[in-house]
Amino acid sequence: MSDSFEAILGHTFQRPALLKEALTHSSLVHRQGRRQGSNERLEFIGDRVLGLVMAEWLIERFPREQEGELGPRLAHLVSQPVLAKVAETVGLADALSVGRGEVKSGLAKRATVLADALEASLGALYLDGGLEVARGFVRRAWNDAMVGQVEPPKDAKTALQHWALARGLGLPLYEVTARSGPEHAPQFTVTVYVGDADGSGSAGSKRAAEQLAAEALLVRVAT
């Protein structure tokens, strides 16, 4: 499967172990009793590479816009819902290795897992092929999302509120549906409800989780 994913990424790896690591979820590593070898480290660098390449692309595409307009565009393009959608489009879920017990639960298709694995794959691309190779993949994979941005996107919560009120659905309702992690590093899951639709997001603060939930619901109602 990694061979076919190489074709999707547009790069033949000199160090195949990097791609294998990028496509290995921590659930598989922990099940095998190992502490290293999952895609978490590559996700760390892939996140930075994506931010740089995307900022460069935005500066090029919107030469007259300032930070106040470019910032929301960047935040949207690197957001979890957009990353998950790109990952689904390129077929990443089929290439991802997860623990045996997590296969049946559909872990590989969760937005958070897909987004993280996509960033890890980008990190592997950068480390193996350099910035030009990473840039080429980003510009192909994110083209539709970039081209679809005619106007700078609004704050996700504001945009969702406008969408709901325009359809007579009332104000979105946000609810903390889960909390995990230690007190010094909590993780909140927030679900937002609008009519019969809902969306969820997880982050280290309630405010950030609300934004992710709003983004997830906007993506859902737009597709």
Is the separation of the CB atoms in 2 and 95 below 8 Å? yes
Residue-wise pLDDT tens digits, 99-151: 665 555 566 678 888 888 999 999 999 999 999 999 999 999 999 999 887 77
The domain made up of 2-147 has a fold known as: Ribonuclease iii, N-terminal Endonuclease Domain; Chain A (1.10.1520)
Alpha-carbon torsion 56, 60, 63, 65, what sign? negative
Q: Is 155 a catalytic residue?
A: no
Read off φ and ψ for residue 4, nearest 5 degrees.
-70, -30
User: Could you tell me the pTM of the whole model?
Assistant: 0.68
Determine the 3-state secondary structure of 197 from DSSP. strand
Q: Is 128 a catalytic residue?
A: no
Active-site residue, from 43, 47, 116, 215? 47
Name the residue ranges covered by the structural domains of the chain: 2-147, 156-222
Q: What does CATH list as the number for 156-222?
A: 3.30.160.20
Active-site residue, from 21, 43, 116, 119? 119
Is the separation of the CB atoms in 167 and 87 below 8 Å? no
pLDDT, mean over the chain: 85
